[in-house]
Amino acid sequence: MSRPEKSSDSAARSDRSRGPGPAGTPPDEEFYQHVRTVVDEASTPITVSTLAERLDDTDDESAYGDVHEALYRDCLQTLDAEGALVFDMEVGLVYAADSGDVASDGFSV
């Protein structure tokens, strides 16, 4: 997974870098909380790529890839199931749970 070009709002990214943990291990609770915070502060919807970029403050493409993979593989699905956010896996968009942009069935309102 290659890193997308930095967005113009990269200055708004958090200075905290939270990785998903060693490759193949699920993210820890601190990572989940950081994801919730970034999604809540974003103008939703936010793409998974943009979310991964904001969570990974390094220029290491493999670290970015690990974060992106952990988001798709574990984190966003878990947080969606808990109702902490809404993850549309088919289009790769993440919405804050209270955004009102997405109905409970996952379709835009």
User: Greater confidence, 105 or 32?
Assistant: 32
In tens, the pLDDT along 11-66 reads: 333 333 345 554 545 567 888 899 999 999 997 799 999 999 998 877 778 888 99
In tens, the pLDDT along 65-88 reads: 999 999 998 899 999 999 999 999
Residues 46 and 44: their CA atoms lie apart, in Å, by 5
Question: Across-strand partners of 87?
Answer: 94
Q: How many helices (H) and strands (E) does the chain have?
A: 4, 3
The CATH code for residues 27-96 is 1.10.10
